[in-house]
């Protein structure tokens, strides 16, 4: 029933490795971009606040599929952005990471912003009383506490991102769902086995992430 | 313009803020100029690439509006089927009987862990093998099936969280009145939980609406997104213009739904007479923070 796993034509582990790489690079990118966005949304400069709000509202309401396709067709093919990728596959991968980071950054930003709201006002007030600037208040006092409060929501964002990487198959990145599509077509008689393999693969990726980060969230929570 | 994070700007801070504004504007304008000049170089700004959307009604009546209708149809069908299924699964997870609770929990956890695109692909293959649904309807059915499976699991969690968020006194009082478990659930707990869940459900509708785009890109449903291939094929390779127009339509629809959800949230919160200082928290944030937040549990119980 699971004979297809031995077929050298299908590189299941390789496909999942691409999924993991997509998820990790996008997670790193979206964490940085989301933090910058959150910083903009609470900053004293009105224009940056407006930009942050507008960006989050626009990107969050756009289908991810559309964003990824726009990255590939718009940025890649029309504007000629390759992000230093030499081959077609490399460029596709990097553009997909860019799209995922741009999209997931909005969710990181919203999670962080709600985390900032959980930090008692006294913390920021004390920091300001010490004469810290906005940037210092944010990076030295508020954000470290906010991050500890939002590990659990960020874990959910990361899990959603891991699942969202399947959308990269829309621009032909060779990750798990693209392989699954191919295998479903070729191995129609083993449909349930194929689906079970890929479902298992994603469960293996997402469940431990949730458990591990849930445990971390409990450990790291600021005791108040 | 006051925030706990920074002092009210004095003269020096105001000049600094103006400086930041100018630098930010310059960077933004630089990026915009680069994008526009590159687009102009490739001829993407030519009038004939954009004019069909204004001058030619056929673009709208042949591609965009039927596509939008298909998208809305898929989303509406998915939520209508997923809601009762999800409610059933969510209540099932709260059951006192282990043989209901554990399977319901397993189903919810499984379908939440699998990407919705894979569920759609699987549904598609199932329809090919085991049903005689025609090839022209199959993609649409597959999209709805995938969305239903995934979102039923998500809604089940929303329902469970909603019922958990109710004060204990509610079910205690129902018991004291001599209600059975089923009666307490349908007459006391669920009606109250529904109003708690409403904002989360509306934002889930936005998620569903966005996910329907997967069908357009990967399964060949003729939805709004699929116009990114059909319009450039008919109106002279205006991919960028088409993508922009499609994105605007999606954003307008979803933004309306998101705003509706936050309005609902504010209204419900106001009617509950709790003091929550931050009025602009969105349902996504609330959903992200769902679970036993320190703010809710002690006060609610």
Per DSSP, A204 falls in state: H
Q: Are A224 and B5 an interchain contact pair (Cβ–Cβ within 8 Å)?
A: no
Say yes or no: B260 contacts chain A, CB-CB below 8 A: no
Query: Which class in CATH covers the domain with range B47-300?
Result: mainly alpha
Of the candidates A213, A184, A182, A185, the one whose C-alpha atom is nearest the C-alpha of residue A196 is A184
Interface of B with A in 262-281 (CB under 8 A): 278, 281
**Beta-carbon separation of B251 and A61 below 8 A:** yes
Judged against a pLDDT cut of 80, whether residue B195 lies above it is answered with yes
Residue B282 near chain A (CB below 8 Å): yes
pLDDT in tens, B126-155: 999 898 888 889 999 999 999 999 999 999
Q: Give the Cα separation of A121 and B277 in Å (integer).
A: 12
Measured between CB atoms, does B23 come within 8 Å of chain A?
no
Distance between A153 CA and the closest CA of chain B, angstroms? 5
For B17-55, what is each residue's pLDDT tens digit? Answer: 999 999 999 999 999 999 999 888 888 888 888 888 888
Would you say B74 and B212 are in contact if contact means Cβ atoms under 8 Å apart? yes
At B6 the three-state DSSP class reads strand
Are the beta carbons of B187 and B179 closer than 8 angstroms? yes
Predicted local confidence at residue B72, as pLDDT: 94
CA pair distance B90, B86, nearest whole angstrom? 6
Q: What is the pLDDT of residues B70-82, one digit of tens each?
A: 999 999 999 999 9
Chain A CB within 8 Å of residue B128 CB = yes
Does the CB of B12 have a partner CB in chain A at under 8 Å?
no
Could you read off the pLDDT of B156-193 as tens digits, one per residue? 999 999 998 899 999 999 999 999 998 999 999 998 89
**B248 in contact with chain A, both atoms CB, cutoff 8 A:** no
Confidence of residue B301 (pLDDT cuts 50, 70, 90): very low
Q: Distance between CA A52 and CA A33 in Å, rounded?
A: 11
Mean pLDDT over B112-129 rounds to 92
Q: What is the pLDDT of residue A222?
A: 78
Q: What is the mean pLDDT of residues B233-254?
A: 90
Contact A73 B239 (CB under 8 A): yes
The list of chain A residues with pLDDT below 50 reads: none
| Mean pLDDT estimate for chain B | 86
Q: How much is the average pLDDT of B112-134?
A: 91
Is residue B278 very low, low, confident or very high in pLDDT (cuts 50, 70, 90)?
Answer: very low
Of A66, A80, A170, the CB nearest to B38: A80
Which residue segments constitute the domains of chain A, with CATH numbers given?
10-220 (1.10.3720.10)
Query: Are A124 and B5 spatial neighbours (Cβ–Cβ below 8 Å)?
Result: yes
B61 touches chain A (CB under 8 A): no
Tell how far CA A53 is from the center of its chain: 19
CA distance A99 to chain B (A): 14
Q: What is the pLDDT of residue B2?
A: 61
Strand pairing partners for B6?
A: B3
Residue B21 touches partner A, C-beta closer than 8 Å = yes
Which of A137, A180, A195 is opposite residue B6, by nearest beta carbon?
Answer: A137
Buried b (16+ CB within 10 A) or exposed e, B72-85: eebbebbbebbbeb
Give residue-wise pLDDT tens across range B198-219: 888 888 999 999 999 999 999 9
Report pLDDT digits (tens) over A161-206.
999 999 999 998 999 999 999 998 888 888 899 999 999 999 999 9
- Please list, in sequence order, all residues whose beta carbon lies within 8 angstroms of the beta carbon of residue B113, skipping any fewer than 6 positions away: A163, A199, A202, A203, A206, A207
Domain ranges of chain B: 47-300
C-alpha B83, offset from chain centre: 14
Q: How far is B210 from chain A (nearest CA, A)?
A: 4
Q: How many angstroms away from the CA of A102 is the closest CA of chain B?
A: 15
Q: What is the pLDDT of residue B80?
A: 94
pLDDT at B297 over 50: no
pLDDT at B233 (0 to 100): 87
Radius of gyration for chain A, computed over Cα atoms and rounded to the nearest angstrom: 20
- pLDDT given at position B68: 94
Least confident of B242-246, B252-256, B296-300: B296-300
Judging contacts by C-beta atoms under 8 Å, the chain B residues touching residue A121 are 4
Most B-contacting residue of A43, A59, A61 (CB-CB within 10 A), to test interface: A61
Burial of A187 (C-beta count, 10 Å sphere; 0-12/13-18/19+): middle
Query: ipTM for the complex?
Result: 0.91
pLDDT of B196 above 70: yes
Nearest chain A Cα to B282, which residue? Answer: A110
């Amino acid at each position: 029933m699971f004979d297809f796993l031995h077929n050298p034509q299908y590189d299941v582990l390789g496909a999942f490795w691409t999924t993991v790489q997509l998820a990790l690079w996008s997670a790193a990118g979206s964490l940085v971009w989301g933090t910058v966005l959150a910083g903009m949304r609470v900053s004293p400069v009105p224009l940056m606040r407006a930009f942050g709000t507008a960006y989050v509202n626009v990107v969050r309401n756009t289908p991810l599929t559309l964003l990824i396709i726009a990255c590939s067709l718009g940025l890649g093919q029309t504007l000629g952005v390759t992000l230093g990728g030499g081959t077609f596959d490399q460029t596709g991968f990097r553009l997909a990471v860019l799209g995922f980071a741009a999209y997931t950054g909005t969710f990181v930003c919203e999670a962080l912003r709600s985390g900032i709201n959980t930090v008692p006002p006294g913390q920021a007030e004390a920091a300001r009383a010490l004469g810290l600037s906005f940037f210092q208040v944010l990076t030295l006092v508020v954000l470290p506490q906010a991050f500890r409060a939002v590990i659990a929501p960020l874990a959910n964002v990361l899990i959603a991102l891991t699942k969202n990487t399947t959308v990269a198959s829309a621009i032909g990145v060779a990750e798990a769902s693209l392989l699954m599509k191919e295998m479903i077509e070729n191995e129609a008689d083993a449909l349930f086995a194929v689906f079970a393999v890929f479902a298992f693969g994603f469960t293996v990726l997402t469940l431990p992430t949730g458990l591990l980060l849930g445990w971390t969230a409990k450990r790291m929570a600021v005791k108040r | 313009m006051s925030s706990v994070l920074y002092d009210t700007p004095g003269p020096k801070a105001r000049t600094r803020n103006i400086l930041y504004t100018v630098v930010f504007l310059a960077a933004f304008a630089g990026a915009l100029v680069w994008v526009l000049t590159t687009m102009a170089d490739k001829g993407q700004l030519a009038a004939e690439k954009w004019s069909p959307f204004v001058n030619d009604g056929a673009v709208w009546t042949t591609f965009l509006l039927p596509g939008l209708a298909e998208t809305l149809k898929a989303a509406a069908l998915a939520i209508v089927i997923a809601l009762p299924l999800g409610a059933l699964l969510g209540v099932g997870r709260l059951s006192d009987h282990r043989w209901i609770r554990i399977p319901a929990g397993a189903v919810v956890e499984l379908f939440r862990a699998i990407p919705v695109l894979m569920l759609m692909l699987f549904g598609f293959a199932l329809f090919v093998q085991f049903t005689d649904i025609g090839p022209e309807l199959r993609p649409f059915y597959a999209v709805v099936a995938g969305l239903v499976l995934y979102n039923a699991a998500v809604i089940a969690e929303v329902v469970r969280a909603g019922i958990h968020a109710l004060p204990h006194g509610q079910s205690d009082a129902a018991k004291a009145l001599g209600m059975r478990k089923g009666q307490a659930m349908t007459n006391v707990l669920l009606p109250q939980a529904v109003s708690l869940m409403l904002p989360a459900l509306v934002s889930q509708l936005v998620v569903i609406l966005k996910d329907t785009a997967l069908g357009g890109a990967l399964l060949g449903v003729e939805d709004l997104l699929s116009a990114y291939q059909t319009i450039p094929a008919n109106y002279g390779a205006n991919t960028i213009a088409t993508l922009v127009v499609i994105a605007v339509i999606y954003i307008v629809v979803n933004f309306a739904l998101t705003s509706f959800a936050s309005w609902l949230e504010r209204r419900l919160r106001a009617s509950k007479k709790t003091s929550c200082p931050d009025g602009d928290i969105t349902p996504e944030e609330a959903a992200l923070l769902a679970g036993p937040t320190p703010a809710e549990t002690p006060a609610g119980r």
